Amino acid sequence: MNFRLQLFIVLLVFSLNLNAEKSKNKSGYSDAKCVSGNCINGNGILEFEDGMKIECNKFINGKFNGICKVSKNDGSWNESVCKNGEFLYPIRVYARDGWLCEGKWYEEKPGMVTCKNDDGREYKGLQLKSRFHGNGEMIFSDGGKYSGNWDQGYPHGKGTFIWSNKEKYVGDWKNGKQDGLGTLYDADEKIINKGKWSKGEFVSE
């Protein structure tokens, strides 16, 4: 075998190895690389420069399709339905504050979700833009329960809170506190306070 033929073979092998490595890291996004699987046509995992990862069960021509999971550096993640590189809507969301929610998310209207928090709280009701919003019920880790209206993540409007000792407040809420007209009952349904409340405190009958 002459020198030129040997050199040609060496260069050819090097070229094939280099192309294989490029194919391995290939993706349809300039700021991301494929760290597992096939991110062009198949299932794989993309990793972006900021550390965010996107795992999809179906890439078509380098675009997200099917069910994709987005994981961020802060520990939060979501699973969404994707089509042609666009995220249509999430089906499961885990937030950095410990909430894991499953249900329906819409752009401009509330959707029904079921959520559990790492600290034991549970919520079932409506949410809007990833905040409890509309009618819903939350059960607290100590056994307390709030049922009623929510606004931007807080009890707001008409609602009922039952403490673990069976005392109960029924009435108006504002930004998570008793505010407006309401009645506080003891465990035997006897009235403790009835009248006007402000910022969580009873004001007057």
List, for residues 42-57, the tens digit of each pLDDT value: 999 999 989 999 999 9
Which residue is associated with the tokens 């931007």?
152
Contact 1, 10 (CB under 8 A): no
User: How many CB atoms within 10 Å of residue 103?
Assistant: 17
> Coil, strand or helix: which one is 11?
helix
The kind and range of the H/E element at 132 are strand 131-139
Query: How many Å apart are CA 131 and CA 154, to the nearest integer?
Result: 9
**Is the Cβ–Cβ distance between 125 and 131 less than 8 Å?**
no
Asked whether the predicted pLDDT for residue 161 surpasses 60, the reply is yes
In the chain, the domains with their CATH numbers are 1-96 (no CATH), 97-205 (2.20.110.10)
- pTM as predicted: 0.75
